């Protein structure tokens, strides 16, 4: 157990928080594998290049990532007061969410399981040094 008053413990915990601008999309109806193809393409790129990549990427996940990236840029400009020209994609990752389980009828009374996967997608921006 941590020692000290509750407010002191909270103050220490909040001091270690990540202050970089970010945006998160929860329960996206796309699998982690498919989302990662798009996220790998924009990781480490500056914001304008990343937006150009996802705009012309034919995958379904790219439309989700584009909206998420625009939201992260808006958060950076409005909440943190950062300039758009200095921003780049520091981190972007997808973690698995809940799985919807469905049944596909098959021959001779059998049933196959269909797994409809979801993911939580996170984009974190940072300023160029």
pLDDT at 119 over 90: yes
Tokens 């002191």 found at:
8
pLDDT at 104 over 60: yes
The partner residues of 107 in beta bridges, in order of sequence, read none
pLDDT at 19 over 90: no
pTM here is 0.85
**Dihedral sign (CA 28, 32, 36, 18):** positive
pLDDT at 2 over 70: no
Q: How confident is the model at residue 14, as a pLDDT?
A: 83
Question: What domains are defined for the chain?
Answer: 22-127 (3.90.470.10)
Confidence band (pLDDT; 50, 70, 90) for 108? very high
């Amino acid at each position: 157990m941590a020692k000290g008053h509750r407010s002191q413990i909270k103050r220490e915990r909040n001091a270690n928080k990540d202050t970089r601008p970010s945006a998160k999309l929860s329960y996206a109806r796309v699998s982690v594998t498919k989302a990662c193809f798009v996220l790998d393409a924009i990781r480490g790129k500056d914001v304008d290049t990343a937006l150009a990549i996802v705009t012309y990427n034919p995958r379904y996940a790219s439309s989700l990532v584009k909206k998420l990236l625009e939201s992260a840029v808006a958060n950076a400009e409005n909440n943190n007061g950062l300039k758009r020209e200095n921003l780049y994609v520091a981190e972007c990752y997808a973690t698995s969410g809940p799985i919807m389980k469905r049944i596909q009828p098959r021959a001779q009374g059998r049933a196959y399981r269909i797994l409809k996967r979801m993911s939580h997608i996170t984009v974190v921006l940072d300023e160029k040094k």
